[in-house]
Every structure is written in structure tokens, then in C-alpha cells.
A and B are shown apart, each in its own frame.
Chain A
Amino acid sequence: MAEKYELQEIEVWDGNMAASHALRQAQIDVVSAYPITPSTPIVQNYASFLADGYIDGEFIMVESEHAAMSGCVGAAAAGGRVATATSSQGFALMVEVLYQASGMRLPIVLNVVNRALASPLNVNGDHSDMYLGRDAGWINLCTYNPQEAYDFNLMAFKIAEDYDVRIPTMVHQDGFICSHTAQSVRPLKDEVAYKFIGDYKPKNAMLDFDKPATYGAQTEEDWHFEHKAQLHNAIMNSMPVIERTFKEFEQLTGRKYSVVEEYMTDDADIILVSLGTTVESSQIAAKKARENGIKVGVVSIRVLRPFPYEALGRALSKAKAVAFLDRSLPAGAMGMLFNEGVSAIYKTDSRPVVSNYIYGLGGRDLTQNNLQEIISELNNDAKNGKITHATQQFIGLRGPKLGYN
């Protein structure tokens, strides 16, 4: 049995520590991991929990991230609770196995501390890795501060392992800005946290020798399409489970989450759509702009997969101008949030004017001035009922203007 960990009512944790404690409270059976900045502390904290006897499961420090996820897949198939963490290049090395994990419907929880992708090599935060894994068939939950990193991890296990879902789940947090910034966090008591998540109930555990299961079979054109379609369907059907889990968590803690979080959007002419730590910056900017009489609201995406198509469309349908703030750049295209967001708007009657702002790559700050600049451009759009500037712009970039017109 693991030693009891004494938690304060309020702990000062950074995002990594918050995630580590959630993993500890989930009483994971196997962690198979490899270090990389900025997610390394999650693994290190876990190792010290182990060294002090606070953990009862197995911890394997493998020789690469590809192996980390391979170990997670083998362990999860064997029939227990599994989690790991990574960032950036490590995440990139895992990508092959991410698809294999979801294809086998193994409810692994992966903490992704988001970071830029090389080259050039850069250890700081942006969302490039998040989008690299976007289509891997995992549920993707996005957080913006240590409290959320903690809360969402607890919920991630409950969602991923739900018997009707059984889909691996990523919890994203921004590298350094969230992962290395200490804030007050209200943890649950260990027993309460564990009770909320519940015991692990696998389907077809490999260690259940009475029913030998074959995992990871081969298909060709005769079945592959059906299997992928089933996965799509299963992820789509996880949405009500995610919403129910948010509700249950709110009842337990008073902390309210929704798949698309709206801030002052009721009467907003302008909406900033953001994700990660930028949500809070955007909210501050919106408040300031309102002091100057510009009606700004903020929409934040909490669930990137399954994509909240309906909820996002609804949240944006009343605005006159919408900006999608992308902290990653798909070279040669509009930003990912823009592309996905526009698809959600397309079905609405009152189609707002939309534009795309690329910012903060490789950890560059997004300042309040930057945000006011965006708001003022959108204000012109809203007034004119049409776009008054380039559709894609780079904010805080030195040099000439770049991007799609």
C-alpha cells in the first residue's frame, strides 16, 4: 500500500506539479515515461513520489518517447490504469504509437506540455505539438492554469476510462507559462479524488487468460474504413460523457467547466477565440476594451477533440467579428484554430467576419498591446461589416507583414 500524502487545502503548485499530483491520486498502475523540457518535472515528481513510497504502481523509465508510449500501450492492453507525459520532439517521436493506442481503444492519459517543434530547436511553449497529434484519434482537453491542469487530469481518467468511451486522452497545458508558473491550487483529498475517478474496469484485459484477446490485428480495405469510422463515432459520442464529467466535477468542487467556455459573449460584437494560457490574457484585454466601449468577449476551446462543432458555432453566431488566435503555424495554411473554427461558423446564419492572428511561436509573449491592436482591427471589421485588413496576420513578429491576404 502506498503511503498517505498530506495535502494542504491550498497548495502552491506549478502546472507540472499539479499534473503529477493528479497522476498520484489516480493511483496509476504503470507509468512508462521519458523526460523532455518542459514536461520533465512531471516525470521527476512522479519518481520522487515513488522514492518516498507514495506510489504503489510500476514506473518504467524507458529509452525514448516512442518506447514510452509503446510501454503504455502494452501495459494498458494488459488491463490497468496508465499515464505518461511529454512535449514537442518527444511527442513527435510518439506520434506513430498514438494512432496505435487509439486504434486499440486503450484509455491512456497523456500530459502534453505544449512546446514548439524544431527546427530551429526551441524549448518554449507553443501549440505546434498539439496540432501534430490532433488527428491521432485521442480526446484532447486544453487547460490554462495549474488548477485546471490538476482538475482536467482527474477528469481525463474518468472520461478516457468510461466504459462507453475507452479512448486515450491528452491533457494539454502551455509549456513554461503554465507548467513552470506556481499558483494556488485547491486539490481534492486523495480519497475524494480517487472516488471521483473510480476503479479501473478494462475490456478484454490481456492478463485475463480465460478470454485470450488479439490486440492490434491487421486489416485491409475490407475492414479498415469501418474501424476508423467506429473510432470517429466513439470519439463523437464521448462528448456527452465529457459534459457529464464536467457537471459531476462541478458538483464536487464548485469549479465549472464547459467544452466551449464563454466570457462576456452575450452582447459581444467582437470575439477572440483562444486556447491555453492566452485565454486569461484575452479575458483581461476584453475587460479593458469594454472600458473603452468596445464590446469584446472571449471564447476558449476546452475540448479540441471531439471538436465542439455545435457549441462553438453557437458561441460565435451572434458576433460581428471573430478573431482566431493561433499559437502555431501550419506552414502554408491558415492557423489550425481558424480552419477548424470557421468550419463551425459556416453553418450559422449570421456569419461573422473572421480573421486569423498567428502569435507567440517559440514562447514569444503576447502582450496586452498586441491584443488591443487586434481588438481595434476587429472593431473596424465590426463597424464596416467586412474585413478591413489581411485575413491572416502575424502579431509581434519583426519585419514586413506576412500571411494570407
Chain B
Amino acid sequence: MSDIKNLKQYSKASERFEGANLLCPGCAHGIIVREVLNATNYPLLVAASTGCLEVSTAVYPYTSWDVPWIHIGFENSSTAIAGAEAMYKALKRKGRLYNDKEPKFVAFGGDGSTYDIGFQFISGCFERGHDFTYVCLDNEVYANTGGQRSGSTPIGASTTTTPAGRISYGKKDKKKDLLFIMAAHGSPYVAQVAPNKWKDMSKKIKTAIETEGPTFINAMSACTTEWRFPANQTIEMSDLAVDSLVFPLYEIINGRELRITYRPKNVIPVRDYLGAQARFKHLFKKENEHIIEQWQKNVDEYWEYLQRREEAKV
């Protein structure tokens, strides 16, 4: 297979995901999906869970997908693609394939469908070892249904079901550490990516897709509508997330070997990231400042932990 495409090659690549879709202006979902579909030249079979991506890209009688694509429900894009992958194996063995193309299989889900309702399905697929890549579009909220909390929503975020109010600072619980959970399934490859670091993202996606077995990509997907920042600042928001280490970029190979793939030269304070989004606005009130401190502490500790894991190679 060819190496990672450079920007020029990207711009010339055939569009497997059309720009004609109904995602909000500035939505990172589209950027990530386009990159996933362009990361390899393999023919792809794609499944998507119910969520912003699905409702914005396949509204009958239109479709934004120039690849075979299926949506079943909110929770089961992983199992849908696993079924398709099983069919591929069966037809190949029986000599009944429709052409001699060697496809790869990809499932997309929002964080709601990944961290919460679809988690059992993904876990099952990973345990059974289906050969596919699961990509979570992690916008830390149920965006499609109007901004409810998910298992990925971080502490202190105001969502429609954990609203900040006179006596509440928003979500009380921390974000689920999904990458480690997926790595613990023994997956050959799991990684976190962010669209501002597009080379890193592209490389990881390519690795995930081309690695045999179930692989997992958690993609930070800034949501202008629910995080509440101007639509032209999606990539800046992503910069703030990775440079503050709120969203560290790393990969875990075979469930063991951890590699940090991006180390910010100047780490910026978490409050800069939080301050840029209206979902955290209330944290800057005096009575909630301790949550920002807590945030910073959590991020520092986690970074320390990642570094130690990397050094120890376990």
C-alpha cells in the first residue's frame, strides 16, 4: 500500500464522502469522516450509528456516501459491520464474491452510541475479533438529540440533562476512559486522534484500517453547536484540546505498548480550553473555580500516567 497521502494527494483523491451534507457549519464530524475514507485506497464498507453523522448524510432520496453504507440503529453499527465482515469471509471461502476487491470494514458512532448504548456491542465485536475499525466521533455529548450528557461528557460541562444551575456546576462524573477499556480487550491497535493534527490522525487511521483484527480510533470531534464556540474555530478548539493535554494523542499496540504521538512544545493551561467554550462558562464563577483546579489536576495526573506507561512499555 502507498504511504500516507500528502495534502496535494488528498485534494486530488476521489471523494468517497461528499461535501453535500447537512452537518452544521464547522462540525468536525465531516472532517474526520473524510479523512477516514481517504486514509487508504482500499474499498470500504461503512456502517454508521444513529446520530448527527447519520441523520445529516443519508436523508432519502439523497446520500453523501460514495461507498457502500449501512445504518441500522443507535447502538449497533459495530455488529452491523461485523455481520458484513462475516459475510465477506463466507462468500470468499465459497468463491461467491461479487468482485475481486479486498475490502476493509469501518463503523462510525458518536460518543453516545460508543461509550453508552452501543458499548456492549462493540465489546462483543472486539472479543470475537472481527476485522474492522471502529471510529468514535467523540463530541462528548448527545448532539443529535439536543445536547444531553453521555458517558464521555467531562466533569463540569453543562448539558441539557446535567445543566449548570443555581446549585449545580453541571455534570458531576468524569469522562469514561474508553481507550484503555478498548485496549484491555486485547485489540491490536487503539488510538486517540484529533483533526488539527491531521498527519498524525491520518497515519493512525491508516494503521488501524490496515491492521488485522478489531481496531479502535477515538476522534476528538469539536461540536460548535453544543460546545458553543464560533463555527470557524473548530480547528483552534482542537488545538486548545491537544495543547492543554485535555485530549492527549497516543496509541496502544496489542493492548500493551503505549506511545505518545504528540507532545506540545508549550502546554497551555486547561482554563484556556474551558474558557473558549460556553458549555464551561459557569465554571468561571467563583463558587465553581475549584472544578477548574480539579480539571487541571486530573489532566496533569493523567499525562504523568501516560508518560510512565510509555516508558515502562507495559
Stretch at the interface among B86-94, B183-191, B251-259, B297-305: B86-94
Q: From residue B133, how far is it (CB to closest CB) to chain A in Å?
A: 15
A79→B86 CA distance, assembly (Å): 11
Within 30-72 of B, Cβ neighbours of A (below 8 Å) are at 43, 45, 47, 54-55, 58-61, 63, 65-72
Closest A residue to B83 by beta carbon equals A74
B79 at interface, CB cutoff 8 A: yes
14 contacts between A and B (CB under 8 A): A58-B90, A70-B76, A70-B83, A71-B83, A71-B86, A73-B83, A74-B79, A75-B87, A77-B84, A78-B87, A206-B68, A207-B84, A207-B87, A209-B103
Sample of 16 more A-B contacts, CB < 8 Å, known A77-B80, A208-B98, A216-B72: A32-B79, A58-B89, A60-B82, A70-B73, A73-B83, A74-B82, A74-B83, A75-B83, A76-B87, A80-B87, A82-B87, A96-B73, A209-B101, A210-B99, A218-B54, A218-B55
- Residues of A in contact with B (beta carbons under 8 Å apart): 29-30, 32, 56-58, 60-64, 66-67, 70-80, 82, 96-97, 100, 205-210, 212-219, 223, 227
Is the CB–CB distance between A79 and B91 below 8 Å? yes
B197 at interface, CB cutoff 8 A: no
Total interface residues on B, CB under 8 Å, equals 47
Is the CB–CB distance between A206 and B86 below 8 Å? no
Which B residues touch A30, using CB under 8 A? 83, 86-87, 90
Is the CB–CB distance between B86 and A214 below 8 Å? no
Is the CB–CB distance between A67 and B79 below 8 Å? yes
- Residues of B in contact with A (beta carbons under 8 Å apart): 43, 45, 47, 54-55, 58-61, 63, 65-73, 75-76, 79-84, 86-91, 93-94, 96-99, 101, 103, 120-121, 123-124, 127-128
A206→B75 CA distance, assembly (Å): 20
The number of residue pairs between A and B whose CB atoms lie closer than 8 Å in the complex comes to 166
Is the CB–CB distance between B54 and A70 below 8 Å? no
Q: From residue B145, how far is it (CB to closest CB) to chain A in Å?
A: 14
Which A residues touch B99, using CB under 8 A? 208-210
A3→B82 CA distance, assembly (Å): 26
Is the CB–CB distance between B103 and A74 below 8 Å? no
Closest A residue to B43 by beta carbon equals A209
Which of the listed residues B80, B82, B89, B93 has the most CB atoms from chain A within 10 Å of its own CB?
Answer: B80
Is the CB–CB distance between B124 and A67 below 8 Å? yes
Closest B residue to A68 by beta carbon equals B79
A219→B61 CA distance, assembly (Å): 8
Q: B83: which of A66, A78, A208, A219 is its contact (CB, 8 Å)?
A: A78
Is the CB–CB distance between B43 and A216 below 8 Å? no
Is the CB–CB distance between A214 and B63 below 8 Å? yes
Closest A residue to B71 by beta carbon equals A216
* A67-B121, A71-B82, A72-B83 known; A219 vs B60 contact (CB < 8 Å): yes
A62→B79 CA distance, assembly (Å): 9
Which A residues touch B83, using CB under 8 A? 30, 32, 60, 70-78, 82
A67→B81 CA distance, assembly (Å): 11
Which of the listed residues A79, A213, A218 has the most CB atoms from chain B within 10 Å of its own CB?
Answer: A218
Closest A residue to B95 by beta carbon equals A1
Is the CB–CB distance between A207 and B103 below 8 Å? yes
Is the CB–CB distance between B59 and A215 below 8 Å? no
Is the CB–CB distance between A214 and B80 below 8 Å? no
Is the CB–CB distance between B98 and A212 below 8 Å? no
Which A residues touch B80, using CB under 8 A? 70-71, 73-74, 77
Which A residues touch B61, using CB under 8 A? 223
Closest B residue to A99 by beta carbon equals B73
Which B residues touch A32, using CB under 8 A? 79, 83, 86
Is the CB–CB distance between A207 and B124 below 8 Å? no
Which A residues touch B71, using CB under 8 A? 215-218
Is the CB–CB distance between A62 and B128 below 8 Å? yes
Which A residues touch B97, using CB under 8 A? 207
Which A residues touch B86, using CB under 8 A? 30, 32, 58, 60, 71, 75
A396→B67 CA distance, assembly (Å): 58
Is the CB–CB distance between B88 and A74 below 8 Å? no
Q: From residue B102, how far is it (CB to closest CB) to chain A in Å?
A: 10
Closest B residue to A210 by beta carbon equals B99
A79→B72 CA distance, assembly (Å): 16
Is the CB–CB distance between A100 and B73 below 8 Å? yes
Closest A residue to B76 by beta carbon equals A70
A156→B60 CA distance, assembly (Å): 30
Is the CB–CB distance between A70 and B58 below 8 Å? no
Is the CB–CB distance between A212 and B54 below 8 Å? no
A221→B96 CA distance, assembly (Å): 39
Which of the listed residues A30, A72, A208 has the most CB atoms from chain B within 10 Å of its own CB?
Answer: A30
A56→B94 CA distance, assembly (Å): 8
Closest B residue to A56 by beta carbon equals B94
Closest B residue to A66 by beta carbon equals B76
A72→B86 CA distance, assembly (Å): 10
Closest B residue to A32 by beta carbon equals B83
Which A residues touch B47, using CB under 8 A? 74
Q: A71: which of B45, B63, B75, B79 is its contact (CB, 8 Å)?
A: B79
Question: 9 tightest CB-CB pairs across the interface, nearest first?
Answer: A74-B83, A63-B124, A74-B80, A75-B83, A78-B87, A71-B83, A70-B76, A216-B71, A206-B68
Is the CB–CB distance between B87 and A29 below 8 Å? yes
Q: From residue A371, how far is it (CB to closest CB) to chain B in Å?
A: 44
Which of the listed residues A64, A210, A212 has the most CB atoms from chain B within 10 Å of its own CB?
Answer: A212
Which A residues touch B45, using CB under 8 A? 78, 206-207
Which A residues touch B67, using CB under 8 A? 212
